[in-house]
């Protein structure tokens, strides 16, 4: 295992300390328990948006704390769910009197701990459950579909709505709508290595790929020989389109996401291939995002997410945002 680390015990703490120091104008890191909040207090009367999950997927979620997105994030240990104590501490730190919306990816540990936290809290809360992965129905840590890259789209759109005065119920309805309008699927050329494990999560031959891989290295639909990029793109899009069933001239957001070890050059190549395929199907790409946003440590691979858009969703996608990992309009 080759990683920049001093000890596996201090890996997350040192990473959070570096993140906090590098972006102290945007976020503040707090310890025991580990939480990330905005550097400036949440305005009173605003619905608070909190998300979280295992570390190793950076910049998700801490990189999306800031104006226009999250009010706080709860980073668990690498690929491990955060504890209810973290969620409660985050809620107490940022609660603004209008309730709390938890954005939770569909993994058993995340669901259990966020639910436990909501039951132990004194304030009012709602939950948006993200399950956009069309690859498989049940997986290693999941009953039903996994929550993956569409989490970021939900956080951006709902975060914007909360900034403009949406109430708790309205924010939940909008979050559920974005999740329902989204589908994702990924492919891996290599595994990732969790620091505590010290070895790859799974093994792939030099000419193999895992089709439909999960963001923790969970098995996908099948293992196959590496194919040309256009063929991979077409199969990913085919599965997503079959699920979303967009109609002619529907507007969509095309999100090509890197898993951590894929160069941007290749991600833009995938975007080019995907847009050509969508153009040929009369599906209009009106918004785009390309980059490493929902990663799996150093995994070499990528995912594609499509989100069907309407006037409301476009408005909140385009609105100003200022976080460590996403910034425009300011």
With residue 129 as reference, give the H or E element that holds it. strand 125-130
Going 131 to 135 to 136 to 142, the CA torsion angle's sign is negative
Structural domains of the chain, count: 2
pTM of the model: 0.96
Q: Is residue 297 part of a domain?
A: yes
Q: How far is CA 208 from CA 191, 250, 277, 329, in A?
A: 11, 35, 24, 42
Classify residue 27 as left (phi > 0), alpha (psi -120 to 50) or beta.
beta
Question: H-type helices in 181-295, by residue range?
Answer: 229-244, 264-280
Give the angle subtended at the CA of 217 by the CAs of 308 and 196, to the nearest 5°.
Answer: 135
Residues 93 and 216 in one domain: no
84-94 helix and 108-120 helix, angle to the nearest 10 degrees: 50
Q: Give the CATH number, domain containing residue 226.
A: 3.30.1180.20
State whether 101 and 221 are in the same domain. Answer: no
Same domain, 163 and 298: no
Same domain, 53 and 176: yes
* pLDDT, tens digit, 9 for 90 and up, residues 252-273: 999 999 999 999 999 999 999 9
242 and 161 in a common domain: no
- Measured between its terminal Cα atoms, the distance across the chain in Å is 41
Note whether residue 326 is domain-resident: no
Q: Among 181, 207, 237, where does a domain finish?
A: 181
Residues 169 and 223 in one domain: no
Backbone angles phi, psi at 249, to 5 degrees: 70, 10
The rounded distance, in Å, linking the Cα atoms of 173 and 91 is: 21
Write the burial class of residue 32 (CB in 10 Å: 0-12 exposed, 13-18 middle, 19+ buried): exposed
- Each residue's pLDDT, cut to its tens digit, for the chain (330 residues) gives 899 999 999 999 999 999 999 999 999 999 999 999 999 998 999 999 999 999 999 999 999 999 999 999 999 999 999 999 999 999 999 999 999 999 999 999 999 999 999 999 988 999 999 999 999 876 666 678 999 999 999 999 999 999 999 999 999 999 999 999 999 999 999 999 999 999 999 999 999 999 999 999 998 899 999 999 999 999 999 999 999 999 988 999 999 999 999 999 999 999 999 999 999 999 999 999 999 999 999 999 999 999 999 999 999 999 999 999 999 998
Same domain, 148 and 223: no
* 15 and 137 both lie in a single domain: yes
Contact by Cβ (8 Å): 187, 102 = no
- Clarify whether residues 227 and 98 are in a common domain: no
Residues 185, 239: contact at Cβ < 8 Å?
A: yes
From edge to edge, which strands make up the β-sheet containing 66-67? 66-67, 321-323, 327-328
Give residue 123's pLDDT.
87
Residues 196 and 264 in one domain: yes
Classify residue 243: in a domain, yes or no: yes
Residues 146 and 245 in one domain: no
- pLDDT one-digit tens code per residue, 191-238: 999 999 999 999 999 999 999 999 999 988 999 999 999 999 999 999
Quote the pLDDT of residue 136: 84
Residue closest to 249 by CA, chosen among 308, 292, 189, 306: 308
Is position 324 within any domain?
Answer: no
Residues identified as active-site = 57, 216
Q: Which two tokens stand for residue 42?
A: 């949440």
Range of the domain at 49: 11-181
Question: Residue 49 sits in a domain of what CATH number?
Answer: 3.40.50.10440
> How distant, in Å, are the alpha carbons of 52, 184, 187 from that of 302?
21, 10, 6
């Amino acid at each position: 295992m080759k990683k920049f680390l001093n000890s596996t015990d201090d890996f997350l703490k040192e990473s959070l300390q570096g993140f906090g120091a590098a972006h102290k104008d945007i976020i503040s890191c707090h310890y025991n328990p580990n939480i990330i909040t905005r550097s400036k207090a949440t305005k009173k009367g605003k619905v608070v948006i909190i998300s979280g999950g295992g570390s190793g997927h950076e910049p998700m979620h801490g990189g999306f704390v800031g104006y226009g997105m999250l009010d706080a994030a709860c980073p668990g240990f690498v690929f491990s769910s955060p504890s209810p104590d973290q969620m409660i501490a985050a809620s107490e730190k940022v609660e603004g009197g209008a309730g709390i919306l938890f954005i939770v990816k569909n993994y058993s540990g995340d669901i259990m701990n966020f639910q436990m936290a909501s039951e132990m809290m004194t304030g009012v809360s709602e939950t948006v459950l993200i399950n956009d992965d069309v690859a498989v129905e049940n997986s290693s840590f999941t009953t039903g579909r996994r929550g993956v890259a569409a989490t970021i789209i939900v956080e951006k759109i709902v975060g914007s709505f909360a900034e403009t005065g949406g109430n708790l119920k309205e924010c939940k309805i909008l979050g559920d709508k974005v999740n329902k309008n989204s589908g994702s699927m990924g492919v891996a050329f290599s595994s990732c290595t969790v620091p505590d494990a010290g070895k790859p999560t799974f093994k792939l031959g030099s000419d193999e790929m895992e089709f439909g891989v999960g963001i923790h290295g969970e098995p996908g639909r099948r293992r196959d020989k590496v194919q040309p990029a256009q063929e991979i793109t077409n199969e990913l899009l085919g599965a997503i389109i079959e699920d979303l069933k967009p109609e002619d001239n529907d507007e969509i957001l095309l999100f090509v996401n890197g898993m951590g070890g894929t160069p941007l050059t290749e991600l833009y190549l995938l975007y080019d291939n995907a847009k050509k395929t969508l153009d040929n199907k009369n599906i209009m790409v009106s918004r785009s995002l390309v980059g490493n946003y929902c990663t799996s440590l150093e995994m070499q691979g990528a995912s594609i997410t499509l989100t069907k858009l309407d006037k409301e969703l476009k408005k909140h996608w385009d609105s100003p945002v200022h976080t460590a990992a996403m910034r425009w309009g300011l």
